[in-house]
Amino acid sequence: MRAPVAAVLASAMLVFFSVQRTFTRAPRLTASVGANVSKCTRKVSGSLRGLRTRGGSLASAGNPMRLSATHATSYPVSSTAVASPPKVDTIEKAKGLLDSIDTIIFDCDGVIWKGDTLIDGIPETIDFLRQQGKSIYFVTNNARKSRAGFKKKFDDLGLQIKPEEILSSAFAAAAYLDKIDFQKTGKSVYVIGDVGIGEELDLLNIPWQGGVADQGKQIELKSGFALPHDPNVGAVIVGFDYGINYYKIQYAQLCINENPGCHFIATNLDALTHLTDAQEWAGNGAMVGAIKGCTGKEPVVVGKPSPLLIDYLVQKFGLQKDRILMVGDRLDTDIVFGNENGLKSCLTLTGVTTEKKLLSDENKIIPDVYVDSINAFRGA
C-alpha cells in the first residue's frame, strides 16, 4: 500500500533511450528491491514552498514553486522474458547515446571514485562531456559529507565541479525536515551518522545532537539502570556511521518508540558501500536495519531511489526528464532511480555490480544500456 506523507518536499528540493535506430531498447523492467525499499519509500504530493535560504549559497534553492511527486511503494516485475541491455562499447554507440541526451546524472561511489581513489580516465571523460555541451550533476546516497564536503573531495581529486552540481542524501534529509516545517515544532534531531548530516542541518538552522559526538559512548548495564534520552527529540536521521554502537541504537529506539510523533528518516538503504578500493563494505542498510529491528517502524527514505532529488533538479534547472541519463553502479538504487523516474539509465561495471550479475536470469532490474566504465562515453 502507499502511505501518504503529508505535504512534503517535492518543490523543497527545487530540488538510451532512443539511440538512433542502432539500438534496440531492452524492455525496461524493475523488480521488487525487497521489503526495505518497497515499504520505506513514501508517496509525497502537494503544494510546497521553496526551500528557505539560511546559511549561505549552498542552502539556496531559488524561487518558491509548486511541484508534486510520487514515491512508488513497489517495483513490479513483469512475467515477460527480459532482454539483455545493449552495451556501449564502440564510439558509434557512444555518439548515438550522447545525441539522445542533454543531461547526465552521475552517482559518485563506484562511478567517479572508489573510496578515496579516483577511477582512471574520469577527468578526461568529464571534460569531454562538457565539451559536448552536456549538463552534469552528481547525486550521491553518501551522507558522510555535506555538499561542501563533497566539493572539497572533488577539488582534492582534481575535478572542477560547481557546488550547485552536487546533491547528497544528507542534503535531502535536512531539506525534508525543512519542508515539513520541523523548526516550528521547537524540537531537535538525533543523528546517527557522520559530519555531513549535521552540516546540512546547520545550514537550515535545525538543532541536532548525536552524530560523531556519541562515538565511543558505552552503556554500563546494572540493576535498575535506564538510559536517559531527550524527550524533545522529534526526528531521528540514520545515515552511514562507521562508529555506530549500542549506545546510539538504544538512544535512537528510545526517541522513536517513546517520543510521540518522532520522525524516522533514512538517508538511504544501500546494502554495501565503497570505503576502500580493495573490497565492498556493509552500507547504511545495516544501520537502518538495526533501528527498524528494535522499533518495528519503517523510515522515510530520502536518497535514491526516492524521487525527491530528481524532482529538485528538474524543477530548479528546468531539465527534461526523457533527455536525462542516470549513470550508476547499483541496480537497486541507481538504475531503479532512473527507470522509475522517467530517466534513461546506464549501469557502469566499475562498482558493486558485475556483468555476470547484470546478465543473469535472476536479475530483473534492467538498465537501458551498460558500460565497462563511463570512459566508454568518449570511446575509451
Same domain assignment for residues 37 and 118: yes
Supply 349's cell numbers. 561495471
Strands 324-328, 103-106: pairing is parallel
Same domain assignment for residues 143 and 225: no
At 162-199, the pLDDT tens digits run 999 999 999 999 999 998 999 999 999 999 999 999 99
In a domain, 36, yes or no: yes
Greater model confidence, 79 or 304: 304
Q: Which domain holds residue 125?
A: 4-170+304-378
pLDDT of residue 275: 84
Distance between CA 88 and CA 379 in Å, rounded? 9
Same domain assignment for residues 153 and 224: no
| φ and ψ at residue 166, rounded to 5 degrees | -115, 130
Q: What is the mean pLDDT of the chain?
A: 83
pLDDT of residue 18: 39
Res 16 pLDDT > 90: no
Same domain assignment for residues 239 and 143: no
Enter the pTM of the model.
0.74
Strands 4-5, 324-328: pairing is unpaired
Cβ(271)–Cβ(333) below 8 Å: no
What share of the chain in percent tops pLDDT 90? 72
- The strand pairing partners of 261, in sequence order, are none
Same domain assignment for residues 310 and 297: no
Res 13 pLDDT > 60: no
Same domain assignment for residues 31 and 115: yes
Catalytic residue among 89, 99, 102, 127: 102
Domain end, chosen from 270, 286, 301, is at: 301
Same domain assignment for residues 73 and 200: no
pLDDT of residue 65: 29
Same domain assignment for residues 202 and 78: no
- 102 catalytic per annotation: yes
In a domain, 176, yes or no: no
Those residues whose C-beta lies under 8 Å from the C-beta of residue 242, and which sit 6 or more positions away, are: 194, 275
pLDDT of residue 81: 52
Domain end, chosen from 301, 329, 354, is at: 301
At 310-367, the pLDDT tens digits run 998 998 999 999 999 999 999 999 999 999 999 999 999 999 999 999 999 999 999 9
The band of 71, judged by pLDDT with boundaries at 50, 70 and 90, is very low
pLDDT of residue 273: 85
Same domain assignment for residues 318 and 290: no
Same domain assignment for residues 290 and 370: no
Element (H, E) at 308: helix 308-317
pLDDT of residue 174: 96
In a domain, 138, yes or no: yes
Cβ(372)–Cβ(349) below 8 Å: yes
Supply 120's cell numbers. 582512471
Same domain assignment for residues 147 and 196: no
Same domain assignment for residues 358 and 294: no
Res 152 pLDDT > 70: yes
| Amino acid letter, residue 104 | I
Supply 115's cell numbers. 573510496
Res 52 pLDDT > 80: no
Count: domains in the chain: 2
| Mean pLDDT value of segment 1-10 | 42
pLDDT of residue 272: 86
In a domain, 177, yes or no: no
Check which CATH number belongs to the domain holding 253 and give it: 3.40.50.1000
Those residues whose C-beta lies under 8 Å from the C-beta of residue 155, and which sit 6 or more positions away, are: 161
